[in-house]
């Protein structure tokens, strides 16, 4: 009987653990809320929007450089995530026309440093990319800075998201199936 209870507990733990480590947009049942943040917060005119499909979530729009614009982003709600037990993120996506960055934010204030990794355009073909946390680059107000993400910072991730990664006037489109932390 003890073995059965232990086995059931282990299965239950694996189910709970999988839910915490994967955001599956194709099944979007985790209750998280995501939002668009465009350069309009600083006076720009870029536009982005998102919609859910059977295959995931599509984030698309148009980047404008007018009035010092140049970005659109799709971000999770503010929710503390401890990613320190993981070593990488795996993202299944397809994109076209513009490289996209995947971000890890540590603070609600936009001017506090954050970390970003590149997701190259896939010419609208599905791709699964693995990015070790050691490959994330530190940014502050859109500029690269020295430093790698620390284990302490990984314990205090406040928001994750996607951001257009090229400051040029263009349209963009990315569809994300899932984000998995391993």
pLDDT tens sequence across 76-106: 999 999 999 999 999 999 999 889 999 999 9
* pLDDT band at residue 41 using 50, 70 and 90 as cut-offs: confident
Pick the CATH number of 24-181 from 3.30.300.30, 3.50.50.60, 2.60.120.430, 3.40.50.1000: 2.60.120.430
Closest C-alpha among 71, 35, 58 to residue 170: 71
Q: Could you tell me the pTM of the whole model?
A: 0.85
* Burial track 100-109 (b if 16+ CB lie within 10 A, e otherwise): bbbbbbbeee
pLDDT score for 178: 95
Phi, psi of 37 (to 5 degrees): -125, 115
Closest C-alpha among 155, 150, 87, 164 to residue 118: 164
């Amino acid at each position: 009987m003890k073995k059965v209870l232990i086995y059931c507990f282990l299965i239950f733990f694996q189910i709970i653990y999988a839910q915490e480590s994967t955001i599956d947009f194709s099944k979007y049942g985790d209750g998280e809320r995501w939002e668009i943040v465009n350069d309009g917060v600083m006076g720009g005119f870029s536009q982005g929007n998102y919609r859910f499909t059977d295959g995931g979530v599509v984030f698309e729009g148009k980047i404008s450089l007018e009035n010092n614009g140049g970005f659109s982003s799709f971000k999770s709600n503010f929710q503390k995530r401890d990613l320190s037990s993981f070593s990488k993120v795996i993202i299944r996506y397809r994109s076209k026309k513009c490289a996209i960055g995947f971000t890890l934010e540590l603070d609600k204030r936009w001017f506090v440093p954050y970390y970003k990794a590149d997701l190259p355009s896939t010419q609208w073909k599905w791709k699964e990319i693995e990015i070790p946390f050691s490959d994330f680059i530190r940014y502050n107000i859109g500029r690269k800075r020295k430093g790698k993400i620390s284990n302490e910072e990984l314990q205090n991730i406040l928001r994750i998201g996607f951001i257009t990664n090229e400051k040029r006037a263009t349209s963009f489109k990315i569809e994300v199936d899932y984000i998995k932390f391993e």
